[in-house]
Structures are given as C-alpha cells and as structure tokens.
Chains A and B, each alone.
Chain A
Amino acid sequence: MAYSDKVVDHYNNPRNVGTLDKSAQEVGTGLVGAPECGDVMRLQIRVNPETQVIEEAKFKTFGCGSAIASSSLATEWIKGRTVEDALAIKNTDIVKELSLPPVKIHCSVLAEDAIRAAIGDWKKKNGVAETADTAVAAQ
C-alpha cells in the first residue's frame, strides 16, 4: 500500500521521539496498544501546572508507518495546547491530515487513545477531576 507524502515525511523525520521522566509530577504517560495488530505506542506530555499548557510531548511507537506518523503528528498538535484543548483532537482529524486509508484507521485511533491516556495519567497524578473522556482511557 502506498503511504501518503505526509506519512512518509513523519515516518522519515518523526518529530518529538523520546522519553520524559515518568515519575515527574508534571509528566503524564499514556501507553496503549492496538489489538488489531499488536502494535504499541507510548506518548508523554509535560504540562505547565499553572497554565495547564502542554509544553513538551514525546512519543515512542513500535508499529507501522501510519502509527509512527499518527503519533508524531499528535505530539506536534498537542504541544502548546491546554490539556482540555488537546482532548478535542479526534482520530478522524489525523486520518484526514495524513490521508490514511480505511485499513489504517486503527493506527490513528491508537494515537488518539495515547493522548487520552497520557492526559488521564497526568490528571490522576495531579488530582485534577477526570472528564468522562479520559476516565475510560486511563483505566
């Protein structure tokens, strides 16, 4: 299957690959998997406690090109947003931006899942009330 140019770009030059200190108070970590294929993705955020703005985002994905591109794009998109804003990102936005074909939709779902899980973890750590959205993802 041919990948779109944007997928290839993110795949060849993934943005924000890396690790944040999992134990740090201001860091939220989301580790998620796609049962469809067995791929795994970790996405981490560092949130400014005052402004609730995501100042740093890192990911590490062991999976297909679309999953790598989706998570790379996700980190780009959430950086500079508040956590509540970041929760507005939907996997369909990623599908559109990367022109993913139907069989690759689950790869974008993985990225949305990862954002929610990371934010959920951060909220739990910092005693911020869970919204319905993150409560499920962070379980």
Chain B
Amino acid sequence: MLNVLDSAVPVECWSCSVAHNESTLFCPHCSKIQPPPGGNYYSVFNLQPALNIDLAALETAFHRLSRKLHPDRFARATASEKEWSLADTALLNDAYRTLRDPLRRTEYLLKLHGAEIGEEHSGKDRRPHEMGASRAPADLLEEVFELNMQLEEMRAARSSGEDDPALARNLSEAKAKFEGLQAEVDHDLREQWTAWDNGGDAEKQAAQKAMVALLDRRRYLSNLVREVNETMGA
C-alpha cells in the first residue's frame, strides 16, 4: 500500500551519488535512469497530490518520460539499467492510467489518505450492517435490480430469435436515465474535489466521506450502463 505522501526522502543516485527526490525516474543531476522509486504516482510526474490536476501537463510529462524510457535508448546500457527501464515503464503506465481517469484518480488519492474504498471496505471482520453507511438508497437498488431483470428478459428473447421493441425502447430510455445519473454523480464528485483540494482538515474529512459514498453509487450505475451496452450491442 502506498502511503508515502509528502515524505520525499532523498535517495542517492547510483551513478553520480548526488541525492535526489525519491520519485524521479531519472537523476536530475546526471540524467541517468533510476530504479523504480517509492513515493506515489503524483511524484512520478512531479505533480502536487490533488484531485483537480492539470491533465495537459500530465500528458506532456507522460509522453516525455515514455520517450526517455524507450528501449532503443537502453540498447547499450548495463543490465541493471535495462531492467530498471522496463520496471520504470510499467510504473509510469500505471501511474498515468490511474491519474488520467477521474474516478481512479479520486479512489487512488483518497486511499493514499487512508480512505477505505472498494474491495477494501469489506474486511473479514466487518459485520454487514456496519456497511450501512455506504449502502445505496433503496430506490436506486430497486431500479438497478428491475433493469437487470429486463435485460435478462431481453437476452432470453434474443436468444430465442424474438425481438421485443417495447422492451428495447424501455431499456434505452432507462440507459439514458442512468447515464444522466452518472453525469450527476460526476458533477457532484468534481465539486467535492475542489472542497478537498482547498479545504482544511475538517473540510477534507467531510469531502472524503461524501466522495466515498458517491463512488459507491457510481459503481452501481457504471455496472448497469455497461450491462445495458453489452446487451443492446451499443
């Protein structure tokens, strides 16, 4: 689990021995490649950990680092350097994919700050009713369940060669509605991002709680929209 946030412990460069920030892929002093650093995904790109980030800067940094890590550049490097270039590439790709995606970025940063999210908030000892805090409202569950039933009906009808136009219409209407709900959640999340980025401890705490609940809700919606798309072949 990554939890090193601000503690940029200086590490000595293996080549020139100058100490550098632990999360650089290349030594700022002699430019030699470094083994995969500790720290977090943000520091790979030299970004401040925040939910609102400069996506253009992220992309530029990603492309620049990808080029620098290109295998051709290590054709004549030592075996360790070759190995590091592969490991650094893997780290760079993970970091980029996580930070680029608004939902994954949110989950990632909240986890760094100790939030229990997704799989992690269902530990062995947790009694089911303790999960109540993040349980979706009953009406959302009803709708999700109902729509899943309709999807199943639709698939059954399809496989026996029939098509039910009324059902199909119903489903695409439902899909539009759920996509609307997704957009709402995303909008609410963005509001919380700003509260989290700019707030003090109390605001952060409140925003974090709100975001965990929003992400939970978002999972039901994404699941459903994906199912509808798969069934309707969209």
Report which A residues bind B (CB closer than 8 A): 31-40, 42, 60, 62, 91-92, 95, 102-103, 105-106, 109, 112-113, 116, 133, 136-137, 139
Nearest CB on B from A74, distance (A):
12
A112 to B122, CA, bound (A): 13
Q: List 6 A-B contacts (CB under 8 A).
A: A35-B131, A36-B121, A36-B219, A105-B122, A105-B124, A136-B132
Closest to A31 in B: B141
Which DSSP category, helix, strand, loop or mixed, fits chain B's interface? helix
Contact between B138 and A38 (Cβ–Cβ < 8 Å)?
no
Closest to B121 in A: A36
**B131-154 toward A: CB 8 Å interface, digit per residue (1/0)?**
110111010111011001100000
Contact between B220 and A40 (Cβ–Cβ < 8 Å)?
yes
- Tally of B interface residues using CB under 8 Å: 31
B129: CB under 8 A from chain A?
yes
A91 to B126, CA, bound (A): 10
Specify which chain A residues have a CB less than 8 angstroms from the CB of B129 in the assembled complex: 113, 116, 133, 136-137
Contact between A35 and B136 (Cβ–Cβ < 8 Å)?
yes
Contact partner of A109 among B122, B149, B227, CB < 8 A? B122
Known contacts A40-B148, A103-B119, A105-B122, A35 near B128 by CB under 8 Å: no
Contact between A109 and B126 (Cβ–Cβ < 8 Å)?
yes
Contact between B124 and A92 (Cβ–Cβ < 8 Å)?
yes
Contact partner of A38 among B119, B122, B128, B220, CB < 8 A? B220
3 interchain residue pairs of minimum CB distance: A35-B216, A106-B122, A38-B223
A31 to B145, CA, bound (A): 8
B224: CB under 8 A from chain A?
yes
Nearest CB on B from A119, distance (A):
13
B28: CB under 8 A from chain A?
no
A45 to B222, CA, bound (A): 30
B118: CB under 8 A from chain A?
yes
**B202-234 toward A: CB 8 Å interface, digit per residue (1/0)?**
000000000000001101111110010000000
A35 to B120, CA, bound (A): 11
Contact between A36 and B119 (Cβ–Cβ < 8 Å)?
yes
Nearest CB on B from A27, distance (A):
16
Specify which chain A residues have a CB less than 8 angstroms from the CB of B140 in the assembled complex: 33
Contact between B142 and A31 (Cβ–Cβ < 8 Å)?
yes
Contact between B132 and A39 (Cβ–Cβ < 8 Å)?
no
